[in-house]
Chains A and B, each alone.
Chain A
């Protein structure tokens, strides 16, 4: 047990917790004002629902004893046998690890509310969310972090490029196909109603990401410091790339700058404990370009994955996870990527990325179809027209 490590992971837990309402504010600013309360509320709903199922059984499914490489068992259900003593190889209480990991599950579900912005029935989203954490998030966490089949294969995911970003991004795409476009999408402009709110949300995300990636070292050490340095660098480079693209096309819009930064943050996440700052610059640079192109593609194809979880988190996470296999260096951690003469890591990363993309998309699509068929995922046209703030919460953001 190490009190310094424990203190840092407790602080990181708090930092990551703040990212979830941060996602809420980030998204709320980009929707119309009649849906602002709902967008933030959905993030808080993720916080309350996932917090409960995580301690009840989801932590155990993710990190319990391995069952066939696919899932954990229920030995830690209701935090049975989880106490103050560290797990093997760790220096923090097991309980601290549980709640730190909980915050990852919470924000992952919050990210995918992007897909259903301004049109989801709250009750159905809760049901979908519980099923999704159980059948998509928990298995992914097990596969990569709970000694599941991808971990055994040698795939690496430092802070959640696949577990968090590919899973939420590609699930969002699947969910968007099932729930359908917002009324009026493609016919008239659906403008962001409060850009400062989005910027505030982005600030909380960037701030929290230091705990997200820095905390994933699970210790207060040099690796945590490296994770924070490369995280900040990648975010800054990708933000600069979007700013330049915006400038070339017209004005450097603030929404573009922060969207780029978040693309850079998502992309560096799987790599933060394996690459140095040179790798981070390239990861940020490429993520800025490809996430922008993905967003452009989505808009051209008229897909209403409304707030770009797929383009930013899905594609960013996909690129970053592959980048681990390219830029990992033994000067930071024990693993070497392609440019340091090893092919095997890149192979494992490619297999892991393909598996997570397909599983996240297909299972999320099937779950969404089932929830839609049984409960209906979407509000009525009239409820959508007056906005979800009134129809789902009987509240308004601005009187």
Chain B
């Protein structure tokens, strides 16, 4: 089992969510986060001065999936979150030891 953490543009959430749902991946957790990548945010030029805006708002999607589903989920996220510009975000894949469904106590590992 793996956990996929995708940091994406907030405005792309709806289409990523819809595409994942259409591929059969409904379960997810999302968090509003702020962060910066290697570009250190962006620089705005405004009335003759330069202003650094780092820590841009992003959305973090967390999905725990079986190993064989990971590639499809990653591809779906990439296809639907990409604009081609800096700031499109990043995807991390982490190993998961086990998951426990609270309602039933069912354990998967």
A interface residues, Cβ below 8 angstroms from B: 34, 123, 184, 188-189, 380, 382-383, 385-386, 390-392, 394
Contacts and interface: CB of A to CB of B under 8 A. Distances in A.
A286 to B, nearest CB: 35
Interface stretch (B21-29, B50-58, B88-96, B101-109): B50-58
Given A382-B42, A383-B44, A386-B42, 9 more contacts: A188-B15, A385-B87, A386-B44, A386-B53, A390-B44, A390-B51, A391-B44, A391-B51, A392-B46
Given A390-B53, A394-B51, A383 B12 contact: no
B12 A188 contact: yes
28 contacts: A34-B57, A123-B47, A184-B11, A188-B11, A188-B12, A188-B14, A188-B15, A189-B14, A380-B44, A380-B45, A382-B42, A382-B44, A383-B44, A383-B46, A385-B42, A385-B87, A386-B42, A386-B44, A386-B56, A390-B44, A390-B51, A390-B53, A391-B44, A391-B46, A391-B51, A391-B53, A392-B46, A394-B51
Contacts of B56: 386
A392 B53 CA distance: 12
Interface of B: 11-12, 14-15, 42, 44-47, 51, 53, 56-57, 87
Contacts of A382: 42, 44
Contacts of A385: 42, 87
Contacts of B51: 390-391, 394
A394 B56 CA distance: 14
A123 B47 CA distance: 10
Nearest to B53: A386
B40 to A, nearest CB: 14
Contacts of A188: 11-12, 14-15
Contacts of A386: 42, 44, 53, 56
B89 to A, nearest CB: 14
A231 B57 CA distance: 43
Contacts of A380: 44-45
A123 B14 CA distance: 33
Nearest to B42: A382
Contacts of A394: 51
Nearest to B43: A382
A122 to B, nearest CB: 10
Contacts of A123: 47
A391 B42 CA distance: 11
Contacts of B11: 184, 188
Contacts of A390: 44, 51, 53
A392 B46 CA distance: 8
Nearest to A189: B14
Contacts of A184: 11
Contacts of B15: 188
A35 to B, nearest CB: 12
B83 to A, nearest CB: 10
Shortest 8 CB-CB contacts between residues of A and residues of B:
A188-B11, A386-B53, A184-B11, A188-B14, A189-B14, A382-B42, A391-B44, A383-B44
A253 B33 CA distance: 29
A382 B44 CA distance: 7
B51 to A, nearest CB: 7
A209 to B, nearest CB: 35
A390 B57 CA distance: 12
B3 to A, nearest CB: 26
Contacts of B53: 386, 390-391
A301 B83 CA distance: 25
Contacts of B47: 123
Nearest to A34: B57
A138 B5 CA distance: 57
B31 to A, nearest CB: 16
Contacts of B45: 380
A390 B43 CA distance: 12
Nearest to A382: B42
A391 B53 CA distance: 9
